Chain A
């Protein structure tokens, strides 16, 4: 059963080489279409048998690096992700050629005043409409466009909805992507960013100290006040995640409490269909590796890697851990050349991606590295799913 959708193509001057669906492009000239004065509007009709979207879920608390992760992820797929043109300027949605990122805050059922009246935080499930979330994610997954509400973070109100076209890859990011069981079942891959309390505190101080009105006490009070809700509603989602990026303070510097150097663990679930975990040297063994030595000189405190199988909330997982930071390009390429199963398309792709975004936070430590690797893994997962579906339709056509 073919599903055909019509949407306007923003410009034909940059052809979408990523699209592998059959497409018919209708080009209308300016003369006939006076409404679009001077502009040539092009309409793309794409028809593909069972054009189902791949859905990725990303969960993390506020101020924990979701936006950075999104930017890295969309960069791996190519193209810059931008808010929808001509729409609400306070929209939280990001759209690129292949990917659409939806912020789950848009599914708040209570706006800021409503939450204040009821005395609930945004972390509380009572403030979110999971039925609508499930309906719309399901519709997008099946290839239908939806009218998604917009939650305006500046005003705290729910704005009129915007139209979202089904993309090839849909990323839902927010506080509760894995909270509702039905939504969880729609996800093809899920990630949880688990930031430890010390690191979270340091990051929030850095983010907020410049704000007039904020002080150390107010930041601390804010974190403390949200902690109970966070622990009851958000934290439990990590046991459902296929990959968890855990950020902890470093162990290389004894007594360090500055949070400059980070220890980052990539916890990867075993036994998933389209996801093969990254490993070091030998899959399934326990490895401890310090790359700095004769071939590579690192500055203090250096870099330390460990890899090994573990159990995480009664799931079999493989954990790759990096403690320390990268100072130079050659450290990065050296490390990349010793990691296996990266799903990179050419030697040095991870390094290239990291360098492309060297101004992003975390580009010199495990957070950036693992986010980039997960981005490549998601690309690989997407390609596998698409290939599988193509094979399935070919099979069906033969019969």
Chain B
């Protein structure tokens, strides 16, 4: 889809500039380029990416919904398709939130504590 925002942090989002000015409870710092400081503690740029599995599902479901609704926007199938889009978007958002606090190094070290990067020394 042309000019869609990628899921990685980008500071130059092309199209819907005005809409990103809407800062609201769900604003994530990396997408609000003006800093109206809706979040008070924000020290580093966080990469907010949806896990690719869910992201793919979301875009597929949107395509599917658009196709189904091309024939009859009021039909049950169309409504159910958009409901599925909503459900997957919510799941994607939750997945993003879950990943938000995760430090990649900590995650790696949980599984591989013996590697050099993860060795800890106590005196």
User: Footprint of B on A, CB under 8 Å?
Assistant: 62-63, 65, 67-68, 112, 115-116, 118-123, 153-154, 156, 199, 202-216, 218, 221-222, 225-226, 228-229, 258-260, 262, 358-359, 361-364, 367
**Complex Cα distance A212/B54, Å?**
11
Q: What is the distance, in angstroms, from A208's C-beta to the closest C-beta of chain B? A: 5
Which of these, A118, A213, A258, contacts B58 with CB under 8 Å? A213
B104 near A: Cβ within 8 Å?
Answer: no
Assess whether A258 is in contact with B22, with CB atoms less than 8 Å apart.
yes
Top 9 A-B residue pairs of the complex, sorted by shortest distance between their CB atoms: A119-B76, A361-B25, A213-B59, A225-B82, A121-B83, A153-B91, A206-B26, A222-B82, A362-B25
Q: List 18 A-B contacts (CB under 8 A).
A: A67-B94, A115-B80, A119-B77, A122-B83, A154-B91, A208-B93, A209-B16, A209-B31, A211-B50, A211-B55, A213-B4, A218-B65, A222-B65, A222-B83, A225-B83, A226-B79, A260-B22, A358-B39
Interface string of B17-53 (1 = CB under 8 A from A): 0011111111110010000101111000000101001
Chain B contact residues: over half helix, strand or loop, or mixed? helix
Q: A119-B76, A212-B5, A213-B1 are in contact. List 11 more A-B contacts (CB 8 A).
A: A63-B93, A153-B87, A153-B94, A199-B24, A203-B26, A216-B16, A222-B83, A226-B82, A258-B23, A262-B24, A361-B26
Give bound CA distance, A188 to B78, whole Å.
Answer: 38
**A-chain residues with CB within 8 Å of residue B48 when the two chains form the complex:** 210
- Contact among A199, A205, A221, A359 with B65 in the assembled complex (CB-CB below 8 Å): A221
Q: Are A63 and B90 in contact (CB-based, < 8 A)? A: yes
Q: Smallest distance from the beta carbon of B12 to chain A beta carbons, Å?
A: 14
The complex places the Cα of A112 from the Cα of B86 at a distance, in Å, of: 12
Closest A residue to B95 by CB, please name it. Answer: A154
Complex contacts, B65 vs chain A, CB 8 Å:
218, 221-222
Number of interface residues of B (CB under 8 A): 59
Residues in B neighbouring A258, C-beta threshold 8 A: 21-23
How close is B120's CB to chain A, nearest CB, in angstroms? 20
B105 at the interface (CB under 8 A from A): no
If A63-B93, A121-B80 touch, whether A358 touches B1 (CB-CB below 8 Å) is no
Q: Which residues of B contact A (CB under 8 A)?
A: 1, 4-7, 16, 19-28, 31, 36, 38-41, 48, 50, 53-55, 57-60, 62-63, 65-66, 69, 73, 75-95, 97
Q: Count of A-B contacts with CB under 8 A?
A: 166
Nearest residue, chain A, Cβ from B101: A359
In angstroms, Cα B59 to Cα A221, docked, is 14
Min distance, Cβ A31 to any Cβ of chain B, angstroms = 26
Q: How far is B39's CA from A364's CA once the two chains are assembled, in angstroms?
A: 9
- Chain B positions within 8 Å of A118 at CB level: 76, 80
* Residue in A closest to B48 when the chains form the complex, CB atoms: A210
Contact check, A212 vs B25: say whether CB atoms are below 8 A apart.
Answer: no
A206 touches B22 (CB 8 A): yes
Across the interface, B90 reaches (CB within 8 A) one of A153, A202, A206, namely A153
A65 to B93, CA, bound (A): 12
- Tell me if A119 and B79 are in contact (CB < 8 A): yes
Residues in chain B near residue A202, CB distance under 8 A = 22, 24
Task: Give B110 Cβ to nearest chain A Cβ, in Å.
Answer: 14
Bound together, the chains give a CA A122 to CA B86 distance in angstroms of: 10
Which residue from chain B places its CB closest to the CB of A221 in the assembled complex? B82
A211-B59 contact, Cβ under 8 Å, with A206-B26, A216-B19: yes
Assess the B4–A214 pair: CB atoms within 8 A: yes
- Could you tell me the distance in whole angstroms from the C-beta of B53 to the nearest C-beta in chain A? 7
Q: Which of B27, B62, B77 has the most CB of A within 10 A?
A: B62
| Minimum C-beta distance from A79 to chain B (A) | 17
B39's nearest neighbour on chain A, judged by CB, is A359
Contacting pair A222 B25 (CB below 8 A): no
**CB-defined contacts of B60 to chain A, threshold 8 Å:** 213
> A209 with B75: in contact, given A122-B83, A154-B53 (CB under 8 Å)?
no
Verify B76–A359 contact, CB threshold 8 A: no
In the complex, are the beta carbons of A210 and B7 less than 8 A apart?
yes
Chain A hits for B57, CB < 8 A: 154
Residues of A contacting B31 in the complex (Cβ-Cβ under 8 angstroms): 206, 209-210
Q: Which residues of B contact A63 (CB under 8 A)?
A: 86, 89-90, 93
Q: Which residues does chain B contribute within 8 Å of A361, judged by CB atoms?
A: 24-27
B7 touches A205 (CB 8 A): no
**Which of B21, B31, B59, B85 gathers the greatest number of chain A CB atoms within 10 Å?**
B85
Tell me whether A222 and B90 are in contact in the complex, defined as CB-CB below 8 angstroms, given that A119-B76, A260-B24 are known contacts.
no
- Indicate which residue in A203, A211, A225 contacts B25 across the interface (CB closer than 8 Å): A203
